[in-house]
Structure 1
Amino acid sequence: MNRPLFVSLDGPKGVGKTTLLEAVTQSLRADNKKVIRLSESKSDPHRGETMAVVNRLVRHPDRDLEWEVCERLAASRAWISRNVLTKQPADSIILIDRWYPSDAAFRRLVPFTEILQLNIDQGVRVPDVHVGVVTAAEISWARATSRRRGLGSTVIHTLDEHAACTEAFERAVSDNGWVLCRNEGLLVDATVQVVSEVCNAQATRGFRCPEGRGLDLY
């Protein structure tokens, strides 16, 4: 049965993920691709209740409480998988801002292997392409803290915590065979890499991605 190509972009704060998502969207649409942009947090009908638990966890770190956060997020992703992803056109490309790989960066007490299995057991859709966007911790920290909204993180407050978050995420990328995208140079380079991965994934389904079109953005 045909279904949309599902691509997730995940990573620590400040790696330029949102900017990269926009550039990838423009590039694919320039090749007449049907692109659907989604955000996990905005699609989650229970995000408010989950964040209340996250706030409790920040005040009182506890493995059982962190596991509850993981369970809530997995249940919400399962809901999105059933009620949002399945409603998109079969010939579209879904680009989602964060999915379960991001737990590898932000969870501290529960091993990611357990979180991954939890999501699988809940029936959360596995992306066709996982893209882990990273930079050196010092670069993403400087980018994030220079923004008007700052780091914008509930669970990360110091450079040391951010560095640990980055290291944990890069290990998960390597361990799980996700696509590693280092977004430290020109945006166009990262865009070309991600678009190429999407085109390769489409090619396995018999779709052709015209070479060179839509990539010369800058």
Structure 2
Amino acid sequence: MNRPFFVSLDGPKGTGKTTLLEAVTKALRADNKKVIRLCEKKSDPYRGETMALVNQLVRNPSRDLELGVCQRFADSRAWISQHVLTKQPRDSIVLIDRWYPSDAAFRRLVPFAEILQMNIDRNVRAPDLHVGVVTAPDTSWARAAARSRGLGSTVMHKLEEHVASTIAFEQAISDHGWFLCRNEGTIEDATLQVIAEIYRLL
């Protein structure tokens, strides 16, 4: 590989995305692959300011505010693309917990096509593999409810909002040809799905 193989795992809340990322990392390392794990939230130097804007949006929803949120996230991803992703070993597999596909699940007033173009215009690195992790909404809602931190979402608090998030994300998977991983069975089964797709593309 001339540059790291870049994989993003995205999806609605409670779909087991982070658990899957951990399992995929373990499986790849067991096969002697060099794996780098990143998290968009932890790599973003402007996260505090952006989340302050997200909190404003929750209190006073408007397209202008949501557009500002989308722009800030895209700017942060451009920074991560330039200052973090380029620093990773060329023979590595980089797995990131969330990237721009997640906007398809959480943004409501700005169409995802507009958000995607916003990221393209800023030269945000496109993943070599987009993994969309989904479950039936009632499954992920129940999983989230069982966690000590609950759904852990700033932007949604009701089941109907979570259902809409899941529907929107599944539509984006279909529209953009992302790899669909249904994580309703065992974590081993979901891990095998993702590993097989990574090896197919390497």
Please state how far the C-alpha of 1:145 moved relative to its aligned partner.
1.0
CA–CA distance in 1 between the matches of 2:98 and 2:18? 10
1:195 counterpart SS class: helix
Give the equivalent residue in structure 1 for 2:74: 74
| 2:76 aligned partner, one-letter code | S
Aligned to 2:196: 196
User: 1:102: Cα distance to partner?
Assistant: 0.1
Q: What's the TM-score once normalised by structure 1's chain length?
A: 0.92
The DSSP-based 3-state class of the residue aligned with 1:80 is: helix
Structure 2 distance, partners of 1:4, 1:180, is: 22
Q: Using the TM superposition, give the Cα deviation of residue 189 of structure 1 relative to its aligned residue in structure 2, in angstroms.
A: 0.8
1:186, distance to aligned residue in structure 2 (A): 1.0
1:1-218 map, 5 Å: 2-202=2-202
Give CA-to-partner distance per residue, 1:110-131, whole Å, 9 cap, x none.
Answer: 0000000000001100000000
For 2:37 and 2:26, the matched residues in 1 are separated by 11
Question: By how many angstroms is 1:194 displaced?
Answer: 0.3
Query: How far apart in 2 are the matches of 1:163 and 1:127?
Result: 26
- Structure 2 residue runs of 5 or longer lacking an equivalent are none
Structure 2: how far apart are the matches of 1:200 and 1:183?
20
Q: Which has the larger radius of gyration?
A: 1
Number of paired residues?
202
Identity among equivalent positions (%) equals: 74
- Post-superposition offset of 1:201: 1.4
Work out the CA distance in 2 between the residues paired with 1:178 and 1:151. Answer: 24
SS of equivalent residue, structure 1 residue 194 = helix
- Stretches of 4+ moved more than 3 A in 1? none
CA deviations 1:154-189 (Å, max 9, x no partner) are 001000000000000000000000000000001111
CA distance in 1 between partners of 2:179 and 2:165 (Å): 18
